[in-house]
Amino acid sequence: MANLLRKIMSSTILLVVTAALLVILLIAPSEARRHSPLLVEDEGARRNRPAECLFGKTLRELGSTWFADLGPPFGVMYCIKCECIPVQKKRRIVARVQCRNIKNECPKPTCDEPILLPGRCCKTCPGDAHSPDIVQDLPQAVMPEEEERSKHFAALLTGRTSSILKRDDMKSVYSTINPLNFVATGRFAFHKKNLYYSFYISEKAPRPRTIQFVDHQGNILEEHPLVIPAEGPFSVYQNATGKICGVWRRVPRDYRRLLRDDMMNVVLLWGGKHQAELAIAGPIGKYPALPQELFSSLLEPAPGTNPEQMNGAGGTAIVSTKSGVTSSIYLTIVLNGVFSPDDIADVPLNIRLEMQNKDQIVLEDTQRVRKPAHDINIIEVSSPLSVNDLRLLTRGKLTVVVESKRKPEALRIQGVIQTRVACEVFQTLLASHNPDSRTDTSGLAWMYLNKEGSLVYNVQTHNLHMNHNPVVTLIDDSAKRKADLETLNIDSSHITNIVDRMGPRVLEPLYSGDLAINVANDQNPNLIHGKFVTRPVADARDSSAPVLLKRMGNSAVPLHSVGMAWMAVDNECNLHYEVTLTGVPSSYHPVQLYLDELPIEAPNAPISQTSLEEFTGNYLEGFILALPSAELAKLETSVIYLEIFSKSKNETILKAKVKSIKVPNHCTGHQYHDNDVQNNSFAPMAPNDNTVPTVETKCYHSSRFYDEGDIWHSALESCTMCSCVQKRVKCEPIRCPPLKCRKEDIVQKRGDCCPTCAGSKYSDDTRVAMPRGCKLGDQFHDAGSTWHPYLPPNGYDTCTVCTCDLATLEITCPRTQCPPLSCSEKVAYRPDKKACCKVCPQIIERTKPVRSGNPDEMGDQGSSSGTLRSPQAILENGGCKYNGNVYENGQDFHPILASHGEQKCVKCTCKDSKINCERKRCARALCNRPKKEKNAAIDECCQCQKAVRHQHGRRRQNQQQQHNNKQQQAAISVKS
């Protein structure tokens, strides 16, 4: 019995030691020193790696600790403690996983009989809390007071605020020579550990190439390439607003502390990759009135001022207003450069608010700066304002001017007051809030302010009957009596329009969260409505429009259930999504978010399904790392459903067809590398060159320019589709799908590139009377037509046929269904690169067998002069059958094994219905060459026998080899 117990204990100890060694092998690099206590993760090849660690499939925050979890059968290894540590790599700070065995750090127990508690590494005594294995990684939640205090930040970027870039150790990386005096201002806001940033830059400046966040020592904490072209198809919001938008996701706690303590800088860079880059920087700080900011202004040196004295000068204005009986304005101005060298203390500045044509001064004040600073000065101005002047401000008609009172003509900065810098959209779901209502009408609305200050609104409804005279109104929801502010035009279920003149009556409730939208008709004055909420712009909201998640037709889900979803693919090929729901009862939670491929026939039978995330509540935001290119291509061709599924009820709640989502070209085709042509490259700037660097992001074709990723019909050649890929034009003739009608019914209509069936769903008369159709991307297709989708850079996908349904105008794009193969999948092949289905090799009889002079070279298995014969005829003529394939008499081939594939080092010959096989060997003289020379001459199939000291051992090896060859030939003979 004692021996049995000792064996069990020995086995247990061996299993624990093996598991610990496995942890070390999985985590430690192979070149780690034998006695090193630290196990550091290899950095990998990813560029611009963020300050977070990836351990298994879990992202860990910088500074976090945890115990290594290897999954079953080992589970959590409580003696292996891991940390996510910062590592300095030149000027960049990257995160690495560092793990160590803490078994040797266990303190010596103070009692006679210590115990090992579950989930612990060290034996402890009762009540002992001092042990290194009790620190387990817990989610570091953001404290409410930290979220409130550190939510809003701003930055001014000028030549004078870029002192950190002018240090000696930075001059080789950055060029601060700024002949055109670029100025920029940024706003930053926290939301769920993410830092959303927004910028206005000088109109004379091109779009920056990169944004960097650096500490006071110049270390790069985070870097984001701004690869979206300024006028390209990837960014809808940024094109309309003239802003630069983005997000730094999952900011580590240590970096949040730097930001809160005003110890972080932001840098914007222009220029090429291998040259000193033009850059401006500025410290990120907390300024008064940022939470109440309604308008902004970027202040630049005024025309006619002294360029030398105003070099590096600029500012930004934070503007807030209040309308009502006593309207007023409040200005916080952050500035520099309006002081002369002899201004030491108590310097007066003139602040004016005037019309752009300078024919009217709305506000004039003088403020004194006690001790002017070189980079950052803050002044605050407040004044009453008339309702008429407030209306001029909201319409972008007023300019802020700040000038030196002593030298007003030489030292002056100014800028137009415009919509605030923050990148944001306002969105809401439209549903009935009356529990007794039986209406099934639903919808969504979203809006934003463009660069002219106009309100761009989008309203999408479902089951809204236009014959009941619907009316859409913006209302102020803050008062008990809901005041109507603006009536929006509506003539269909999906409208997009602009309100040019926006007054404070609409803007103030919009920014304060009190603006609502109401849809009424003849039967119900409050049919559906919703209250707008503010959402920061990045990823999905920047590059697409939301989709409406609608209730299924015969579902038991409540009528008031509705949802909206934003989706986008970023430059790293990650899929970002955000889902908002309303009206879904708690009994339906938790719910699961799915991506379903469009079914071919039955609408409830999805071909493939991808689970995104499970959640409880009415809001979900997440992303999926690096989706496969095939899945991304489906998103771009709009062949995907988004589905909300209730796990408790086991049914689909809401569903929507995903609109075509723009996917970067390198995510579905060519991968860019450092030596490739950059999307946003600039010509080098000469030191004395005052010209703005030119942006080269377009393709030139048929007398016009096209953006990267654009698709168009060629004007030079009819029936030709072109695309812009990597600044090169790629054209391909339009490929027509096969028609499902008799040959005599096929007709070619004038002006069409593809033939159609006579008497089809749409005739010439129908098309003139009813110009209906479907839009896929930027291409319009007539109702009832079919086509192959065009997917740059690969061209037409001939394996998919899209159809625009005549009745519903919905696009379906099923893929070709391949017939079953009569041969093994291993030997089947595609006739050409774009073939949809694999085919089996054809059996061809040679009139004259072709024999090569080289005995190791395969014979010709097909010839243009050959004739096809049946497998039975080949076997009767002395042919062989092996593994489902038929070979001619005298034919050479490589055998195919189901478990290992084609054996290229084995050559078989079919001779008089028998198969003889042998493995390729090397000549003895070749095997006796020196090692370096032999490696250069011997291929992977050569097997040189190693020298054996004893003759007996060599004889046994030869006998074993012969025995193996006989077994292989016997197996082949049995199969044949």
What gap in Å lies between CA 655 and CA 657, rounded to an integer?
7
Q: What is the pLDDT of residue 848?
A: 37
With vertex at residue 951, the alpha carbon angle to CA 946 and CA 957, rounded to the nearest 5 degrees, is 55
State mean pLDDT over 441-448. 93
What gap in Å lies between CA 200 and CA 186, rounded to an integer?
7
Q: What is the pLDDT of residue 598?
A: 66
What gap in Å lies between CA 527 and CA 676, rounded to an integer?
56
Q: What is the pLDDT of residue 134?
A: 59
State mean pLDDT over 251-278. 84
Half-sphere exposure of 291 (CA within 13 A, CB side): 6
In 3D, which of 681, 550, 607, 524 has the Cα closest to residue 206?
681
Q: For residue 310, what is the DSSP state?
A: T
In 3D, which of 457, 442, 463 has the Cα closest to residue 528?
442
Q: What is the pLDDT of residue 599?
A: 59
Strands (E), 824-954: 844-845, 867-868, 880-882, 885-887, 892-893, 896-897, 901-902, 906-911, 914-919
Output the average pLDDT for the chain.
76
Per-residue b/e over 316-336, b at no fewer than 16 CB within 10 Å?
bbbbbbbbeeebebbbbbbbb
Q: What is the pLDDT of residue 638?
A: 76
Q: What is the pLDDT of residue 238?
A: 86
Q: Does residue 690 register a pLDDT over 50?
A: no
State mean pLDDT over 329-349. 91
Element (H, E) at 172: none
Q: What is the pLDDT of residue 891?
A: 87
State mean pLDDT over 906-932. 74
Q: What is the pLDDT of residue 630?
A: 77
Q: Among 441-445, 639-643, 858-862, 903-907, which is the least confidently predicted range?
A: 858-862
| Tokens describing residue 167 | 């240090």
Q: Among 55-69, 184-198, 906-920, which is the least confidently predicted range?
A: 55-69
What gap in Å lies between CA 11 and CA 19, rounded to an integer?
12
Q: What is the pLDDT of residue 434?
A: 83
Q: What is the pLDDT of residue 360?
A: 87
Helix 387-394, helix 504-512: angle, nearest 10: 70
Q: Does residue 723 register a pLDDT over 60?
A: yes
Confidence of residue 199 (pLDDT cuts 50, 70, 90): very high
Q: Does residue 354 register a pLDDT over 90?
A: yes
The secondary structure of 750-819 as a DSSP string is TT-SS-EETT-SS-HHHHHH---EEEETTEEEETT-EE--EETTTEE-TTB-EEE-TTT--EE-PBPPPP
Facing residues of 185 across strands? 156, 200
Q: Does residue 871 register a pLDDT over 90?
A: no
What gap in Å lies between CA 183 and CA 185, rounded to an integer?
7
Q: Does residue 228 register a pLDDT over 60?
A: no
Structural contact between residues 462 and 441, judged by C-beta atoms closer than 8 angstroms: yes
In 3D, which of 262, 313, 318, 311 has the Cα closest to residue 293?
318
Q: Among 13-27, 414-428, 868-882, which is the least confidently predicted range?
A: 13-27
Q: What is the pLDDT of residue 171?
A: 82
Percent of the chain having pLDDT more than 90? 20
Q: What is the pLDDT of residue 833?
A: 63
Confidence of residue 532 (pLDDT cuts 50, 70, 90): very high
Query: Which tens digits make up the pLDDT trace of 289-306?
Result: 898 899 999 999 998 888
Residue spans in the chain of domains classed CATH 2.60.40.150: 287-421
Q: What is the pLDDT of residue 446?
A: 93
| Tokens describing residue 364 | 């004039």
Q: For residue 360, what is the DSSP state?
A: -
Higher pLDDT, 110 or 300: 300
3-state helix, strand, coil in the chain (%, to 5): 15, 35, 50
For residue 417, how many other CB atoms are within 10 A of its CB? 27
Percent of the chain having pLDDT more than 70? 74
Burial of 848 (0-12, 13-18, 19+ CB in 10 A): exposed
Structural contact between residues 409 and 304, judged by C-beta atoms closer than 8 angstroms: yes
Higher pLDDT, 664 or 688: 664
What gap in Å lies between CA 128 and CA 151, rounded to an integer?
41
Q: What is the pLDDT of residue 900?
A: 57
Query: Which of 4-18, 361-375, 496-510, 866-880 holds the top average pLDDT?
Result: 361-375
Q: What is the pLDDT of residue 901?
A: 61
Q: What is the pLDDT of residue 943?
A: 54
Element (H, E) at 948: none
In 3D, which of 658, 652, 532 has the Cα closest to residue 584?
652
Helices H / strands E in the chain, number of each: 14, 66
In 3D, which of 736, 740, 730 has the Cα closest to residue 749?
736
In this structure, the dihedral spanned by the alpha carbons of residues 852, 858, 864 and 870, taken in order and rounded to 10 degrees, is 130
Q: Among 164-173, 197-206, 589-598, 682-691, which is the least confidently predicted range?
A: 682-691
Q: Does residue 33 register a pLDDT over 50?
A: no
Query: Which tens digits make up the pLDDT trace of 775-810?
Result: 776 677 777 788 888 877 777 888 888 888 877 888
Strands (E), 113-262: 152-157, 174-175, 184-191, 194-201, 210-215, 220-225, 244-248
Q: State the amino acid at position 116 in one-letter form.
A: L
State mean pLDDT over 707-713. 79
Element (H, E) at 259: helix 253-260
Cis peptide preceding 606, ω within 30 of 0: no
Cis peptide preceding 590, ω within 30 of 0: yes
As a whole number of angstroms, the longest Cα–Cα distance in the chain is: 112
pTM of the model: 0.62
State mean pLDDT over 390-418. 91
Confidence of residue 611 (pLDDT cuts 50, 70, 90): confident
Q: What is the pLDDT of residue 275?
A: 56
State mean pLDDT over 433-448. 88
Confidence of residue 627 (pLDDT cuts 50, 70, 90): confident
Beta-sheet pairing, 277-285 with 174-175: parallel
Q: What is the pLDDT of residue 759?
A: 55
Query: Which tens digits make up the pLDDT trace of 130-176?
Result: 666 655 444 444 444 444 445 899 999 999 999 999 888 888 788 88
Q: What is the pLDDT of residue 401?
A: 95
Higher pLDDT, 692 or 153: 153
In 3D, which of 100, 106, 122 has the Cα closest to residue 37?
100
Per-residue b/e over 818-837, b at no fewer than 16 CB within 10 Å?
eeeeebeeebeeeeeeeeee
For residue 135, how many other CB atoms are within 10 A of its CB? 12
Q: Among 46-55, 125-134, 218-227, 883-892, which is the least confidently predicted range?
A: 46-55
Q: What is the pLDDT of residue 330?
A: 94
Higher pLDDT, 746 or 352: 352
What gap in Å lies between CA 804 and CA 771, rounded to an integer?
13
Q: Among 248-252, 271-275, 688-692, 702-706, which is the least confidently predicted range?
A: 688-692
| Tokens describing residue 817 | 């269904």
State mean pLDDT over 861-883. 67
Q: For residue 970, what is the DSSP state?
A: H
CATH tag for 287-421 (out of 3.40.1110.10, 2.40.30.10, 2.60.40.150, 2.60.120.280): 2.60.40.150
Q: Does residue 854 register a pLDDT over 70?
A: no
Structural contact between residues 705 and 698, judged by C-beta atoms closer than 8 angstroms: yes
| Tokens describing residue 105 | 């750090």
Q: Does residue 853 register a pLDDT over 50?
A: no
Structural contact between residues 456 and 449, judged by C-beta atoms closer than 8 angstroms: yes
Q: What is the pLDDT of residue 25?
A: 37
Q: Does residue 285 register a pLDDT over 70?
A: yes
What's the CATH number for 151-285? 2.60.40.10
The secondary structure of 34-96 as a DSSP string is TT-S-EE----S-TT--SEEEETTEEEETT-EEEEE--TTT-EEEEEEEEEEEEEETTEEEEE
Q: Does residue 596 register a pLDDT over 90?
A: no
For residue 973, how many other CB atoms are within 10 A of its CB? 14
Give 445's contacts (C-beta < 8 A, 6+ positions apart).
427, 428, 430, 457, 458, 459, 460, 517, 530, 532
With vertex at residue 104, the alpha carbon angle to CA 101 and CA 106, rounded to the nearest 5 degrees, is 105
What gap in Å lies between CA 594 and CA 566, rounded to an integer?
14
In 3D, which of 640, 328, 667 has the Cα closest to residue 508?
328
- Measured in whole angstroms, the distance separating CA 451 from the mean position of its chain's CA atoms is 26
| Tokens describing residue 183 | 């100025």
Facing residues of 569 across strands? 575
Higher pLDDT, 577 or 52: 577
What gap in Å lies between CA 613 and CA 579, rounded to an integer?
11
Residue spans in the chain of domains classed CATH 2.60.40.10: 151-285
What gap in Å lies between CA 422 and CA 294, rounded to an integer?
10
Q: What is the pLDDT of residue 73?
A: 57
Higher pLDDT, 104 or 149: 104
Give 131's contacts (C-beta < 8 A, 6+ positions apart).
106, 107, 120, 122, 124
In 3D, which of 184, 186, 162 has the Cα closest to residue 174?
162
What gap in Å lies between CA 218 and CA 200, rounded to an integer?
24
Q: Does residue 356 register a pLDDT over 90?
A: no
Cis peptide preceding 793, ω within 30 of 0: yes
Which backbone phi and psi does 777 adopt, to 5 degrees?
Answer: 70, -125
Q: What is the pLDDT of residue 944?
A: 57
Facing residues of 550 across strands? 655
Q: What is the pLDDT of residue 832?
A: 67
